[in-house]
């Protein structure tokens, strides 16, 4: 593990420092293949001379940027030195569910977790953060979050700025609510302090050349609408899951919680000048957290939301003080980047329809929880079983009054359309978060590859952390149907199922041991639709399931013994 210390950029020129501002903190880096992360309690001075209680990784606030190479086998040790349980999730990375760090993969205080995986992702900007159910917001808001930069050969061949802290800067933009003692209030809808890399009112000295920024909206709730104070163009080069096919010239970029974007700004010829990055929140329509009204109209109120100078107004994010260029600057915006090949709609095996609704209907709904398909998160319920290598369209409709950023683990997806219209160019790359506005239907396509049959599921959820913690999250597992098809081959825990193929009306399911241990079963179609389910009244060692009502075909049967389950493919004839 190569370590670089927290570096604070303190280069400044006298001419441009007119307002009292703070030099931005740039997180240190860890690189190589072995990473050690120490989660710790701390105190941090957001305000001069005032200690705020925080949580951090290898320090008091935020965490180091992990630099990984595609194809490397990485070995991460996460030591939980907090006095409470948490988890660490690698947001956006394609790893097995066991290594994914979701709510099931808890790390007790004093314990360590050691995920090991091959980096399969394309060069891009990912991030890590806690994911403990009902505690995600608290642990993220108190400070645990860090960047992951993946590099690969395809990206290395491009003439892009890539010297960390010199012409390539990570910027995590967050809002927080501080009380009178400057302690962080969680949860809160009164987030009125903007921080970039944990720095309030930040400035950054940038050389007068092409600079790359890796933007992450790490806020619990707030959506931003980034733009430059002189309304000049900047160039988006990457979305959540890697580089775009070509730079996209923009003057505005909307980003919701969890989303990342890589942008280039050309500061060439502007030495001695100052430029600000703004969030033009006045341009938001109502129905977005960040607009004047977070719900669809003035009557939909959110406790604590108004008044707040950030809502529906334009505000500064960071000031760039432009200094002399480096000796070897990047001076041009490339014309092409990497191959991005969306999955054609014709390859889809199934469309799943998802629906967001408020728990409380009517004008007070913003203060309640939200459902996905009428249900709320249950650690013990797997909501979708997805066959390995399935290509799926997810069609998500928002029937609530506020926009929700939808996030799915395991995969990157391609947005197909928004209410039937092609998505904006900024959403045509690989994504893992998409904002779904009230009354909108967004469809995306993705493929579930490589990882299956893990003991824990993956998550999909709203990335507004109050909503996520409030249960706006469900789970899926990926099941490899090509294993376990042999007749009478014992499954995990010695379960046996026969006959297979099922040629008469009944299927017998037997627990391998003499002990009566079956508790329930579920029968799924190949597309993951539950066809039958049953609970075994008294725990028993053998049950007969009547499948006469099920049409011929391939299915999979899941048998449960308490918390453990085994899945087997069956043929009904």
Q: Which one, 409 or 558, has the nearer CB to ligand C2O?
A: 409
CA angle 549, 546, 476 (to 5 degrees): 80
Structure tokens at 16: 């441009």
User: Counting Cβ atoms within 10 Å, is residue 10 exposed (0-12), middle (13-18) or buried (19+)?
Assistant: exposed
**Does the protein bind ligand C2O through residue 407 (CB under 6 A)?**
yes
Residue with smaller CB distance to ligand C2O, 264 or 473: 473
- Identify what 461 binds: ligand C2O, Cu ion, none; CB under 5 to 8 Å per kind: ligand C2O
- Please say which residue, 139 or 407, places its beta carbon nearer to ligand C2O: 407
Length of the chain: 573
Least distance from Cu ion to the Cβ atom of residue 409, Å: 5
CB of 433 to ligand C2O, least distance (A): 8
How far from 154 is each of 76, 121, 213, 338, 349, CA to CA, in Å? 25, 12, 19, 7, 30
Q: Which stretch binds ligand C2O (CB under 6 A): 224-232, 369-377, 455-463, 474-482?
A: 455-463
104 forms part of the interface with ligand C2O (CB under 6 A): no
443 binds, among ligand C2O, Cu ion, none (CB under 5 to 8 A by kind): none
User: By CB under 6 A, is residue 409 in contact with ligand C2O?
Assistant: yes
The residue among 89 and 122 lying less far from ligand C2O, judged by its C-beta, is 89
Partner touching 139 among Cu ion, ligand C2O, none, CB below 5 to 8 Å by kind? none
Q: How far is the CB of 5 from Cu ion (least distance, A)?
A: 28
Closer of 222 and 569 to ligand C2O (Cβ): 222
Distance (Å, whole) CA 118 – CA 325? 38
The string over 395-419, giving b where at least 16 C-beta atoms fall within 10 Å of a residue's C-beta and e elsewhere, is bbbbebbbbbbbbbbbbbbbbbebe
Q: Could you count the other beta carbons within 10 Å of the beta carbon of residue 109? A: 12
Give the shortest CB-198-to-ligand C2O separation in angstroms. 18
Q: Which does 131 bind (CB under 5 to 8 A by kind): Cu ion, ligand C2O, none?
A: ligand C2O
Stretch that binds ligand C2O, among 354-362, 441-449, 456-464, 531-539 (CB under 6 A): 456-464
Residues 70-89 that bind ligand C2O (CB under 6 A): 89
Query: Using the rule CB under 5 A, is 464 a contact of Cu ion?
Result: yes
Strands lying side by side in the sheet with 404-408: 384-387, 473-479, 458-462, 404-408, 433-436
CB-based contacts of 18, cutoff 8 Å, min separation 6: none
User: Does 510 interact with ligand C2O (rule: CB under 6 A)?
Assistant: no
Q: Is 133 in the site for ligand C2O (CB under 6 A)?
A: no
The answer to whether 469 and 135 have CB atoms below 8 angstroms apart is yes
Q: Which two tokens stand for residue 19?
A: 């307002």
212 binds ligand C2O (CB under 6 A): no
Please tell me the count of residues contacting ligand C2O according to CB under 6 A: 10
| Window of 80-88, 233-241, 457-465, 505-513 that interacts with Cu ion by CB under 5 A | 457-465
Encoded one letter per residue, x for contact with Cu ion by CB under 5 A and - for no contact, window 395-424 reads ---------x----x---------------
Rounded Cα distance between 542 and 512, Å, is 9
Among 91, 94, 447, 510, binds Cu ion (CB under 5 A): 91
What phi and psi, each to the nearest 5 degrees, are found at residue 378? -135, 115
Among 222, 447, 461, 558, binds ligand C2O (CB under 6 A): 461
C-alpha distances out from residue 110 to 86, 120, 172, 484, Å = 11, 30, 28, 38
Can you say whether residue 215 is alpha, beta or left, with left for phi > 0 and alpha for psi between -120 and 50 degrees? beta
Binding of residue 94 to Cu ion (CB under 5 A): no
Q: What span, in angstroms and rounded, lies between the C-alpha atoms of 306 and 297?
A: 13
Q: How far is the CB of 148 from ligand C2O (least distance, A)?
A: 12
How remote is the C-alpha of 110 from its chain's centroid?
Answer: 26
Q: Which residues bind ligand C2O (CB under 6 A)?
A: 89, 91, 129, 131, 258, 407, 409, 459, 461, 463
């Amino acid at each position: 593990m190569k370590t670089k210390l927290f570096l604070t950029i303190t280069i400044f020129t006298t001419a441009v420092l007119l307002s009292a501002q703070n030099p931005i903190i740039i997180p240190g880096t860890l690189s190589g293949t072995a990473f050690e992360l120490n989660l710790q309690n701390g105190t941090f001075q957001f305000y001069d001379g005032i200690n705020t209680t925080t949580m951090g990784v290898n320090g008091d606030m935020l965490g180091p940027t992990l630099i990984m190479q595609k194809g490397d086998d990485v070995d991460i040790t996460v030591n939980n030195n907090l006095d409470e349980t948490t988890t660490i999730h690698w947001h956006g990375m394609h790893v097995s569910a066991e290594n994914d760090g979701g709510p099931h993969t808890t790390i007790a205080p004093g314990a360590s977790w050691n995920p090991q995986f091959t980096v399969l992702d394309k060069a891009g900007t990912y991030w890590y953060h806690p994911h403990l159910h009902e505690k995600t917001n608290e642990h993220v808001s108190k400070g645990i979050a860090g960047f992951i930069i993946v590099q690969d050969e395809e990206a290395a061949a491009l003439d892009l700025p890539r010297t960390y802290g010199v012409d390539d800067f990570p910027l995590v933009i967050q809002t927080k609510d501080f009380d009178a003692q400057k302690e962080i209030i969680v949860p809160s809808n009164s987030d009125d302090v903007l921080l970039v890399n944990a720095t309030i009112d930040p400035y950054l000295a940038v050389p007068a050349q092409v600079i790359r920024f890796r933007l992450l909206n790490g806020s619990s709730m707030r959506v931003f609408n980034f733009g430059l104070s002189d309304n000049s163009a900047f160039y988006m080069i990457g979305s959540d899951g890697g580089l775009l096919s070509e730079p996209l010239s923009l003057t505005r970029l909307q980003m919701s919680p969890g989303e990342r974007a890589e942008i280039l700004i050309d500061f060439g010829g502007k030495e001695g000048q100052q430029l600000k990055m703004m969030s033009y929140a006045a341009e938001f329509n109502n129905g977005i957290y960040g607009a004047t009204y977070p719900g669809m109209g003035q009557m939909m109120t959110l406790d604590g939301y108004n008044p707040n100078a950030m809502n529906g107004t334009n505000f500064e994010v960071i000031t760039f003080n432009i200094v002399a260029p480096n000796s070897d600057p990047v001076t041009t915006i490339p014309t092409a980047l990497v191959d991005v090949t969306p999955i054609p709609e014709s390859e889809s095996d199934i469309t799943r329809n998802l629906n967001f609704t408020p728990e409380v209907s009517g004008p007070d709904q913003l203060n309640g929880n939200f459902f996905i398909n009428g249900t709320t998160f249950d650690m013990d319920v797997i909501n979708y079983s997805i066959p390995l290598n399935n290509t799926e369209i997810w069609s998500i409709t928002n029937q609530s009054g506020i926009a929700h950023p939808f996030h799915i683990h395991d995969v990157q997806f391609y947005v197909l359309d928004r209410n039937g219209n092609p998505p904006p160019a900024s959403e045509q790359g690989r994504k893992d978060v998409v904002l779904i506005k009230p009354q909108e239907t967004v469809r995306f396509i993705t493929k579930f590859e490589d990882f299956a049959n893990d003991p824990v599921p993956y998550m999909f959820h709203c990335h507004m952390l109050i909503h996520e913690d409030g249960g706006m999250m469900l789970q899926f597992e990926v099941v490899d149907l090509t294993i376990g098809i042999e007749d009478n081959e014992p499954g995990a825990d010695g379960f046996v199922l026969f006959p297979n193929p099922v040629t008469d009306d009944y299927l017998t399911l037997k627990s391998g041991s003499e002990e009566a241990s079956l508790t329930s079963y579920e029968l799924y179609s190949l597309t993951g639709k539950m066809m039958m389910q049953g609970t075994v009244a008294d725990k028993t060692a053998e049950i007969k399931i009547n499948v006469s009502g099920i049409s011929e075909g391939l299915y999979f049967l899941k048998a449960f013994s308490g918390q453990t389950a085994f899945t087997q493919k069956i043929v009904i004839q």
